[in-house]
Amino acid sequence: MTIKRMLTLQKLLILCCVGMLILIGVKCYYIQQKITAVTEADRLYALNDLIGAEEWYLQAHRNKSIRYKEQEVSLYLQELAPISEMNSTLNEIDDAAKKAYAKDDFEQLMTVYAELSDFRAIYMKDSNTYAPYYRQISAKYEISEDFTTYFQDFRTLFYEQLEHNLDNKQYADESFKWNLLTIPEPFFGDADQKKSQLYAKFKAYDQRKLAQMAAKGEFQTLLDESIAMLEHYDSRQIQADWITEQTDSLVRTFLEHDADKEAYSTFAVHAKSYTSFIQSVKFDSTVESYITKQIDSWMSVAKRAVKNTEFNKALALYEGLANYMDTSSKVKETKLAWNIHDPIRILQNSDPTRVFTVIDSGSKRFGAVLYVLAQDEQNIIYFARMDSEDKVHILTNDHFQQDEAIQDIAIESSLSIEKFPVLLIQGESSTRNTRYTAIEVQTESMVTLFEFHADGYQVDSDGQLLLDNPDTPEGAGQVAIYQRSGESYSFVGFQQDYIDIVVEDLLLYIQEKVRFSTNIIQPGYSEAFAIMGDSYLKLTGNYSFYEGTAIVTGRFSGYEDFYIEDELTSIPLFEVESME
């Protein structure tokens, strides 16, 4: 071995020794730390400083440098487990609250506060010996101070949102109200202070909000929003009288303005809506008597107008007030008086050279204040509408020749829709009893929906046509069903003229057309015998009956006597009209 190698080996050995000495020193340090921790914990425990003792025992427990009084430390930590739990849980709650606050997550903050309340309730009972320690640990983490800051800041934020809504006249999000209500009472002072502060804020906000809606002329929105707000408050056991007070005042202003302008219809709509509002909310309103007085006054004015042949004025009043009360009889009387005075004036004003026969007329229907259905001497059909501005719109249809015999023209209500009446014209038919033609009066034209020759016609509850023996390839000899598709009617099937029953119930349907399934036990042509429960049944008809199950349609026609096993028995007779 050379001198150089010997020196290198010596250095390595020296380094190893130094490293061992350092490790031994560190080990000794942690041993001393653990012994010190146990000693300090014992001292604090003896002084009944359980919080400090738990902290030192926990520090000693985590120090694994030497096994020193391990069993004693473990027993002490078990005894001080409530202290450990308080430290751990309150630390977690404090961290969670800080995170929720940093994210402006009020809902999460309330969840954390609920957890804190539940946990605090465990240790803050008078009977719990750890209550003083809970207070100390809570103070260590500044729990009360932190939550006070958080809730105060959120309260400020919610107040700002309230003002923001009013300034921008946008009310879609009012969650700040209910968030404010969920803030615990102690953060306002007490329950009375919370109620006083929040109710004052809510009252100012709600009344200003309703006033803004009224200023924009949003009457129904005003009522709807008032109801919605009251429902929100009621669900939280808050009696918000300030809403009904403000609404009552604003509605009176609306109605007085309507009356001054003689806007009868608008007044009636507003009055009716508000009457419904009062009945819904159930409160004493000062406006109800004003509405009754004004309506009575206008009804007297309308009555005098009819006597003075001021039909326009009377109709304007009656039709306007119809939105509040039933004035249909008054409208009818007024229009009758007017029509007696000039029954076909709206058509003659358009063409005084023609002679019209009025078929039907009415008011406030099909999008018109007044409508008239008429026919002239050339079989031209007229439908005239008078709108709310007294403009007359006339549509004509010359589908029928002058010499064609028209038996009847009428508005078919069952086929009509709100703005488009359907006219049903019945005329002579060369192949059936009647020719049925339906014409829909649309906005700009009259459209023929169908024309059928049939022996009978009706409309079912679904708006489908039921034609008896129509002169069509698919429907002849049947009650055919037609359904509207676009601007025409298409064949969809036949009307079922029998009742499906079980064979045992046959005797309940005397002379009614029924269909049932039975088992033929004695086949034959034109007659056969089949099973009917515990008895028998005779089938008759122009069919070849085969043994086995068959579905037959027909009518029970009586009884016939037969000997069955030497005993005379009456069995039902069934006349078969069809068989499957």
Residues shown for the chain: 580
User: Could you give the angle at the alpha carbon of 284 between the alpha carbons of 282 and 287, nearest 5°?
Assistant: 115
Same domain for 177 and 109? no
Are 526 and 471 part of one and the same domain?
Answer: no
Report the amino acid identity of residue 219: F
Tokens of 485: 């598709």
Q: Is 473 helix (H, G, I), strand (E, B) or coil?
A: coil
Beta bridge partners of 450: 438
* 202 located within any domain: yes
Q: Domain for residue 10, yes or no? A: no
Residues 428 and 384 in one domain: yes
Q: How many structural domains is the chain composed of?
A: 4
Residue pair 314/305 in contact by the 8 Å Cβ criterion: yes
Which of 295, 281, 273 minimizes the C-alpha distance to 244?
Answer: 281
Is 315 part of any domain? no
For tokens 């023609």, what's the residue?
Answer: 354
Identify the bridge partners of residue 362 per DSSP, sorted by sequence position: 371
Task: Answer yes or no: do 156 and 279 share one domain.
Answer: yes
Radius of gyration of the chain (CA): 47
The pLDDT value recorded for residue 496 is: 77
Final residue in a domain of this structure, among 464, 494, 524: 494
The amino acid at 342: D
Query: Does residue 506 sit in the same domain as residue 476?
Result: no
**Does residue 290 sit within a domain?**
no
Q: Is residue 570 part of a domain?
A: yes
Q: Is 365 exposed, middle or buried (0-12, 13-18, 19+ CB in 10 A)?
A: middle
Which has the closest alpha carbon to 218: 176, 247, 177? 247
CA distance 106 to 351: 74
Using alpha carbons, list the distances in angstroms from residue 547 to 120, 397, 525, 528, 575: 87, 62, 11, 9, 18
pLDDT value at residue 25: 46
Residues 107 and 182 in one domain: no
What is the model's pLDDT at position 171?
A: 86
Q: Which of 90, 106, 141 is the last residue of a domain?
A: 141
Which residue among 84, 116, 141 closes a domain?
141
- Sheet containing strand 381-386, strands side by side: 356-365, 368-376, 381-386, 392-397
Q: Distance (Å, rounded) from C-alpha 462 to C-alpha 414?
A: 9
The whole-number pLDDT of residue 533 equals: 87
In the beta sheet, which residues pair with residue 183?
none
For residue 251 the two structure tokens come to 């509605």
Confidence at residue 212, expressed as pLDDT on a 0 to 100 scale = 93
Other residues' Cβ atoms within 10 Å of the Cβ of residue 451: 14
Dihedral of the alpha carbons of 338, 414, 427, 353, in degrees to the nearest 10: 30
CB proximity list for 182: less than 8 A, separation 6 or greater: 110
Those residues with Cβ within 8 angstroms of residue 64's Cβ, 6 or more apart along the chain or in another chain = none
Same domain, 509 and 552: yes
Please report whether residue 512 resides in a domain. Answer: yes
Q: Would you tell me how many other CB atoms lie within 10 Å of the CB of residue 119?
A: 17
- Beta strands 524-532 and 488-494 are unpaired
CATH of the domain at 519: 2.40.50.140
CA distances from 279 to 223, 272, 293, 466 (A): 12, 11, 19, 45
Task: Let me know if residue 92 belongs to a domain.
Answer: yes
CB within 8 A of 520, min separation 6: which ones?
Answer: 528, 529, 530, 539, 545, 546, 547, 548, 549, 550
Domain co-membership, 520 together with 435: no
First-to-final CA distance of the chain: 119
Question: DSSP secondary structure string, 307-366?
Answer: HTT-HHHHHHHHHHHTTTS--HHHHHHHHHHHHHHSTTHHHHTT-TTS-EEEEEEEEEET
Q: Go through 46-81 and write b for each residue having 16 or more CB atoms within 10 A of its CB, e for each that does not.
A: eeebbbbbbbbbbbbbebeeeeebeeebeebbeebe
Nearest to 34 by CA among 73, 60, 9: 60
- Check whether residue 504 and residue 488 sit in a common domain: no
The DSSP result for 77-140, as a single string, is: HHHTHHHHHHHHHHHHHHHHHHHHHHTT-HHHHHHHHHHHHHHHHHH-STT-TTHHHHHHHHHH
Continuous segment of H or E residues that includes residue 253: helix 241-260
Do 73 and 131 belong to one domain? yes
Q: Report d(CA 136, CA 190) in Å as an integer.
A: 24
Which of 302, 303, 395, 321 is CA-nearest to residue 364?
321
382 close to 376: Cβ distance less than 8 angstroms: yes
What's the pLDDT at 12? 65
Residue 284, token pair as written in the block: 């004493």
Compute the distance between CA of residue 167 and CA of residue 526 in angstroms, rounded to an integer.
Answer: 91
* Per-residue 3-state assignment (H helix, E strand, C coil) for 430-472: CCCCEEEEEEEECCCCEEEEEEEEECEEEECCCCCEEEECCCC
E strand or H helix that includes residue 16: helix 3-46
Query: In terms of domains, do 420 and 389 share one?
Result: yes
* Pairing label, strands 514-522, 499-500: parallel
pLDDT, tens digit, for every residue of 77-126? Answer: 676 667 777 888 888 888 998 999 999 999 999 998 988 888 888 887 76
pLDDT per residue, tens digit, the chain (580 aa), is 555 555 566 666 666 665 665 655 454 454 555 566 566 656 766 676 666 666 666 665 666 655 666 666 566 667 666 777 788 888 888 899 899 999 999 999 999 898 888 888 888 776 667 777 778 878 888 888 988 899 999 999 999 999 999 999 888 898 999 999 999 988 888 999 999 999 999 999 999 999 999 999 999 999 999 999 999 999 999 999 999 999 999 999 999 999 999 999 999 999 999 999 999 998 889 899 999 999 999 999 999 999 998 988 999 999 999 999 999 999 878 876 775 566 577 888 788 888 888 888 877 788 887 788 999 888 899 998 877 776 788 999 988 887 778 889 999 999 998 889 999 999 888 899 999 999 999 999 999 999 999 999 999 888 889 888 898 888 787 888 999 999 999 988 887 778 888 989 988 888 888 899 999 999 999 999 999 988 889 999 999 999 999 999 999 988 888 887 777 888 899 999 888 8
Regarding whether 352 and 227 lie in a shared domain, the answer is no
Is 260 part of a structural domain of the chain? yes
Q: CB atoms < 10 A from the CB of 167, how many? A: 8
Token pair recorded at residue 277: 């509002």
Q: Which domain holds residue 190?
A: 151-284
